[in-house]
Amino acid sequence: MAKEKNTIPYKIYLTEEELPTRYYDVRADMKTKPAPLLNPKTLEPMTADELETVFCKELVKQELNTSKRYIDIPTEIRDFYKMYRPAPLVRAYCLEEKLDTPAKIYYKFEGNNTSGSHKLNSAIAQAYYAKKEGLKGVTTETGAGQWGTALSMACSYFDLDCNVYMVKVSYEQKPFRREVMRTYGANVTPSPSMTTEIGKTINAKFPQTTGSLGCAISEAVEVATKTAGYRYVLGSVLNQVALHQSIIGLETKKALEKYDIEPDIIIGCAGGGSNLAGLIAPFAGEKLRGEKNYKILAVEPASCPSLTRGKYAYDYCDTGMVCPLAKMYTLGSQFIPSASHAGGLRFHGMSPIISELYEQGIIDAVTYEQTEIFDAAEKFARCEGILPAPESSHAIKAAADEALRCKETGEEKTIVFGLTGTGYFDLKAYEQFNNGTMSDYIPTDEEIQKGLDALPVV
Amino acid sequence: MAKEKNTIPYKIYLTEEELPTRYYDVRADMKTKPAPLLNPKTLEPMTADELETVFCKELVKQELNTSKRYIDIPTEIRDFYKMYRPAPLVRAYCLEEKLDTPAKIYYKFEGNNTSGSHKLNSAIAQAYYAKKEGLKGVTTETGAGQWGTALSMACSYFDLDCNVYMVKVSYEQKPFRREVMRTYGANVTPSPSMTTEIGKTINAKFPQTTGSLGCAISEAVEVATKTAGYRYVLGSVLNQVALHQSIIGLETKKALEKYDIEPDIIIGCAGGGSNLAGLIAPFAGEKLRGEKNYKILAVEPASCPSLTRGKYAYDYCDTGMVCPLAKMYTLGSQFIPSASHAGGLRFHGMSPIISELYEQGIIDAVTYEQTEIFDAAEKFARCEGILPAPESSHAIKAAADEALRCKETGEEKTIVFGLTGTGYFDLKAYEQFNNGTMSDYIPTDEEIQKGLDALPVV
């Protein structure tokens, strides 16, 4: 199928002058706002004062904002963005040809930085505000390690102390991620550790434990709240993270407009929701204001289907049930998704913003199983060159399916999807796929119900 | 030190229209040409016919060219280049600030592709010519795996069979590289294998061997010459590879000219010489024609100093002594460099083009030890974000030293260096560096002399 390769370049790069100077907060355009976080003890909305014991002041302001549409991006953050942004908007000419589709496929590639993903967009913002507030350092948790890597990079740039609690099993099985963080100067501690009260308690109770994200969160929060000059930072779910990630969508929109391209479908993978919220923000805004009617698609793993099989309810964000409650689509904080290689999508809940947009019908959602995701990933790698992260490959699969539908109908739709990162640290998973030993798991209705039955009564 | 951040962007990207359409062959501007390859049996110059038993016809033509200045880049190759090129020319504002230098530092970053290095530039060209000639597939060897990865990507794009002989020790110790290649559809065989005569012989003689690059080359060449529809391809040393890599230098030059930047010093790491030859090609050309007088610097590891401590003489390219002889700076084909993490720089010789340019005084050379390279790499990563490959970090170290000299003298020199790739698959080495267990080794004069004493008499 001959395409107009001369009119649209393979990669659309914005110039540095064209880079967004303001974040966009989609909540400003939502008539019904996402519900507030609740204090887990009082079940009352968290106040700014309460949040400031955990987060920086400026970030608390952003967390609680619901009406301000644009927030200026400080020069220092914009300077850092210039080191790895703009991320290219790539026309997938080769994929289109392989699929033999009349559809036009574009992807926003966020993997061209050492963290290997979009996580750096929020990490640098959170590190900046911490530095500006005069803090000494920050604490966080990391599972697979992408968020920890991004935060390490951001902290080394602003000369901030960075303490990462890494789930013990990942610390041992993913030594490379750990070494990237150490190279950027972070202190990486396997969790549960003996450096916190909660860590000591868990180690005493379960001496053989290999840790969990819930426990690592609890350790990081404990250290941040008990140590002068430290705050806790988080890489997904929160409103502030969605705000920072809006840089993805704003750049995408400007790149499309630069070449008069009108998208029909916008697709992103959905775990905690940070990438999806960022990518779709300006498009969802137009849809909320009634200006446009894009199809916006969240793609979940079948093994952890919070939007498609979960319940819209208040729930704990962590398995330890010490963090605030958020109203979100959730499978229940006690739901344990089966081991899957898309570690970044194994969260039981979904960002409150994405949840509310889904509830309002602005977003649709689909699920795919692991093996079909890796099949799509491999096909994509072989023609587009980039080896995608398993998380990102959910969006690839959905985009390819939309393009194949266009082949059936003959429609020349324009599809945009988010390629959040690279799979260079996921090669154990690719090995399983290459060897034919990868399996799928869809939770039964009973398992789902069990998770939902344990939801807190609010 | 306040710099004019507004006049020069952080990253200079050429548009797709500005991408080079022709390779540049620096040999056309050399009065004394590099010496021809010799047949290892007759010691006579290799003829086109002889070379065509191993290489594609078009590549043989390129290998033997000495007078044609420009070679058109076929559209199919240019289309592939558009998927990951132009590589950005990055202004290292943050590094300059950390070094507190009046120098201006730029680096050409070749790591934004899944092979993680510049190797893809030549892999795609070699795969294209193989496909065009109607071949079924190609064979090659790989050590650390960057070249094998690049070739796998190129072959999957052109639907060519790709057989990679991977040094057994790397096959076992670098399973991730192996899996990237398999994901792109390559057949990866640990070498020595039982699929070739030479492999069987070596396995019988040395049943415990973990292989060597020399042996892997011999296996790959044997399969290529004995199997109908197959040819052998190589990722460095050869003239054809230097030609394809000129895309690096041509893009760099155009990017500099776009902003009226006049470089003073051009720096690249030097192993087999492919990256260096490509980066400096157009600059060396100007110097050869007497139009400019840049300082051009090759940076070698102290553990394998072919330019600085080797001899300019005919030598075998492989330890097995079955390949043609090349006139080059060499430590002798029997010289075994100490284990070093810059695997891509552990070649006993140097590309004939680089060797002759060095002999003519167009290029200077320096050496550094491993630990000081990693120290420079870490400092670079922490301010510029990118985690560099150990090979590339040789150029970083030399550039930083030049910049520090400018600080002493107050000169505002413009330094350009090649950042050939990322260190995502070198984290074992970073771990050693982070743990303080990395050591250096400089060969003694006796060791060097022993290698030189074994040079063939031609």
Q: How far is A195 from chain B (nearest CA, A)?
A: 21
Within 13 Å of residue B320, how many CA atoms lie on the same side as its CB? 20
Task: Confirm or reject contact between B259 and chain A (CB < 8 A).
Answer: no
Secondary structure (DSSP) of B27-71? GGG-SSPPPPPB-TTT-SBPPHHHHHTTS-HHHHHHHH-SS--EE
% of chain A at pLDDT higher than 70: 99
**Mean pLDDT on A123-148:** 95
Q: What sign does the CA torsion over A110, A113, A115, A119 have? A: negative
Quick one: which H or E segment has residue B93? helix B93-99
Residue A2 pLDDT exceeds 50:
no
Q: In the predicted model, what is the mean pLDDT of residues A151-166?
A: 97
Q: Which residues sit opposite B141 in a β-bridge?
A: B165
Residues 138-157 of chain A with CB under 8 A from chain B are 153, 156-157
Residue A437: phi, psi to the nearest 5?
A: -110, 15
The per-residue pLDDT for A344 is: 79
* Residues present in chain A in total: 458
Is residue B391 within a helix (H) or strand (E), and if so which, with residue range? helix B390-409
Q: Which of B16, B80, B184 sits opposite A9 (nearest CB)?
A: B16
Between the two ends of chain B, the Cα-to-Cα distance in Å is 56
Which tens digits make up the pLDDT trace of A414-440? 999 999 999 999 999 999 999 999 999
Q: Using 50, 70 and 90 to split pLDDT, how confident is the model at A3?
A: low
Residues of chain A contacting B175 with CB distance shorter than 8 Å: 427, 431
Cross-chain Cβ contact A179/B427 below 8 Å: yes
* Rounded Cα gap, residues A227 and A187, in angstroms: 15
What is residue B143's predicted lDDT score, i.e. its pLDDT? 82
- Two tokens, residue A371: 């093996």
List all residues 6 or more positions away from B305 whose beta carbon is below 8 Å from its beta carbon.
B331, B367, B443
Least confidently predicted of A316-325, A385-394, B150-159: A316-325
Rounded average pLDDT over A56-73: 97
What's the CA angle centered on B269, arms B265 and B271, to 5 degrees? 145
Distance CA A430, CA A423 (A): 9
Q: Do B184 and A427 touch (CB under 8 A)?
A: no
Where chain B has pLDDT below 50, the residues are: 1-2
Which CATH number describes the domain made up of A26-71+119-232? 3.40.50.1100
Query: φ and ψ at B364, to 5 degrees?
Result: -105, 170
- Are A139 and A182 in contact, with CB atoms under 8 Å apart? no
Tally C-beta pairs within 8 A across A and B: 125
Give the helix/strand (H/E) hosting B107. strand B104-109
- B194, with CB counted inside 10 A (0-12, 13-18, 19+), is exposed
Alpha carbon distance A123, A233 (integer Å): 8
Q: Do B430 and A183 touch (CB under 8 A)?
A: yes
* pTM of the full structure: 0.96
pLDDT over 90 at A35, yes or no: yes
- What pLDDT shows up at residue B4? 58
Q: What is the pLDDT of residues A182-214, one digit of tens each?
A: 999 999 999 999 999 999 998 999 898 888 888
Nearest CB neighbour to A431, from listed B179, B378, B384: B179
| Domains in chain B: boundaries | 5-21+83-116+239-453, 26-71+119-232
Å from A281 to nearest chain B CA?
27
Same fold, A5-21+83-116+239-453 and A26-71+119-232: yes
C-alpha distance from residue A284 to each of A38, A119, A266, A365 (Å) = 26, 21, 10, 14
CB interface of B with A, residues 361-390, below 8 Å? 378, 381-387
Nearest CA to B442 among B389, B368, B350?
Answer: B368
Note whether B24 and B69 are within 8 A (CB).
Answer: yes
∠ Cα B140 B141 B145 (to 5°): 115
pLDDT at A212: 83
Digit-coded pLDDT (tens) for A331-357 = 998 888 877 777 778 889 999 999 999
Hey, what CATH topology would domain A5-21+83-116+239-453 get? Answer: Rossmann fold (3.40.50)
Q: DSSP of A157-186, one letter per residue?
A: HHT-EEEEEEEHHHHHH-HHHHHHHHHTT-
Which is nearest to B95 in space by CA: B421, B428, B407? B407
**pLDDT above 70 coverage of chain B, percent:** 99
pLDDT digits (tens, 9 = 90+) for A167-182: 898 888 888 999 999 9
The residues that bridge with A231 in the sheet, in sequence order, are A138
Q: Which of A247, A275, A252, A249 is nearest to A71 (CA)?
A: A247
Query: Please, how many CA atoms are within 13 Å of residue B146, restricted to the half-sphere of its CB?
Result: 29
Per the CB < 8 Å rule, is B183 touching A430? yes
Q: A interface mutation test: which of B113, B427, B428 has the most A CBs within 10 A?
A: B427
- The pLDDT of residue A4 is 58
Q: What distances in angstroms separate CA B374 from CA A12, B43, B390, B392, B424, one per listed residue?
A: 35, 42, 7, 10, 14
Give the other-Cβ count within 10 Å of A17's Cβ. Answer: 8
Residue-level pLDDT at A20: 98
CA B301 – CA B306 distance, rounded (Å): 9
If you search the block for the tokens 């084909």, which residue do you land on? B333
